[in-house]
Amino acid sequence: MASNQMNLEKKVSNIFTEMFSYSNIDKIKKSSMKNESEWDSLKHMEIIFTIEKSFKIKLKQSDIIKMTSFKSILNILKKY
């Protein structure tokens, strides 16, 4: 895995650890709005805000809507 990809994954993992109090990387990687009861619309906006702040970016509305899992967040962030 490329260094940038590893850094991206680590940064997003840290955000999920903070948001959901996770410590298990496998649970983090499988996280999605569908399987996390805590991940409601408010939590979603907290995640988005934290990502934007952490990466110093402004996400497009169309991307925010698609960011419904750890995997989708990683894939979308690769564009920025």
- Express each pLDDT in 42-62 by its tens digit: 999 999 999 999 999 999 999
Of 55, 59, 56, the closest CA to residue 11 belongs to 55
- Express each pLDDT in 28-38 by its tens digit: 999 999 999 99
Domains of the chain are 3-77 (1.10.1200.10)
* Model confidence, pTM: 0.90
Q: How many residues does the chain have?
A: 80
Q: Is 76 within 8 Å of 67 (Cβ atoms)?
A: yes
